[in-house]
Amino acid sequence: MDANAPGTFWRDTLLQRAARGRVDLPLLTHERSRGQQHGHAAKIALITTVATAAGLAAILVTVLVMSGPKGGSTADLRMIAGVLILGLPAGIGFLVYVILWLSMVRRVRDGDGHPYGFEATADAFAVTRSDGTRIAAPWQRWSYRGYRYTSYHGSPVAVRDLALACDGRQIVIDVPRTHRARQLLRAVLQRLAAHGNAAG
């Protein structure tokens, strides 16, 4: 959804929250390509699957040790172990992957300069487009132009896109596809406020 226009920068609680915290400069980071974003989502889903399987295996072993031998069928135990250690984690991992794909990958498109590369220092900010074009200038020449957010039940929960302008040229940072996104948001918002260009 669309958020506030230039001139209301520090009246927005979501931006205030995004700007909180320490960030070390210089900061070098980048947006992921669609393929990289897909790989990132798959990696998170895989880690979730392995962690779930390990946790359930530990629980199963603990229960078996604590309960002692009960004379149950070995085949039954193998089936239960297979469901708990393989089937259930795989199902959870697949569900996590689908959710991440819908929220992180589906809308990502390469093109129009994306994926961007970013370099933030205490005095300047630079954006390198995918075609090699570079926009670099002191913070005084950068201005905030607005943002879009993701919402839950109508309430804003996170910054999705952050629009900036430099000498009339506008760029839009795609936050979910950006590596070290929190640090980049902090750096940009804090430096814009420090240099008085938050109002655009």
Residue-wise pLDDT tens digits, 41-77 = 899 999 999 999 999 888 888 877 776 655 555 666 7
Of 11 and 178, the one with more pLDDT: 178
Instruction: Please determine, for residue 198, whether its predicted confidence score (pLDDT) is greater than 70.
Output: no
8 Å CB contact between 119 and 126: yes
In a domain, 29, yes or no: yes
Q: When comparing pLDDT for 152 and 88, which is higher?
A: 88
Q: Which of 156, 179, 176, 182 is nearest to 99 (CA)?
A: 176
Q: Clarify whether residues 81 and 133 are in a common domain.
A: no
Q: Do 169 and 140 lie in a common domain?
A: yes
Instruction: Mark which of 90, 105, 120 sits at the end of a domain.
Output: 105
Within this chain, do residues 134 and 189 fall inside the same structural domain, yes or no? yes
Q: Contact at 8 Å (CB) between 127 and 171? A: yes
Domain shared by 28 and 96, yes or no: no
Whether residues 124 and 29 share a domain: the answer is: yes
Lowest-confidence segment of 34-38, 78-82, 135-139, 140-144 by average pLDDT: 78-82
Residue 199 within a domain: no
CATH of the domain at 120: 2.30.29
Mean pLDDT in residue range 137-152: 90
User: Which of 115, 110, 118, 161 shows the shortest CA–CA distance to 29?
Assistant: 118
Tell me, yes or no, whether 97 lies in a domain. Answer: yes
Same domain, 130 and 86: no
Q: Are residues 100 and 41 in the same domain?
A: yes
pLDDT at 30 over 50: yes
Dihedral angle over CA of 173, 98, 102, 157, nearest 10: -70
**Are both 14 and 69 inside the same structural domain?**
no
Q: In this predicted structure, what is the pLDDT of residue 154?
A: 79
| Residue 4, in any domain of the structure | no
Domain with 166, as residue range(s), is 9-33+110-194
Pick from 10-19, 23-32, 68-77: least confident? 68-77
Do 120 and 159 fall within a single domain?
yes
**Number of domains composing the chain:** 2
Q: Residue 4: its pLDDT value, please?
A: 47
What is the pLDDT, as a whole number, of residue 73? Answer: 57
Look over the chain and give the mean of its residue pLDDT values, rounded to a whole number: 85
Domain finish residue from 105, 139, 156: 105
The DSSP bridge partners found for residue 118 are 29, 127
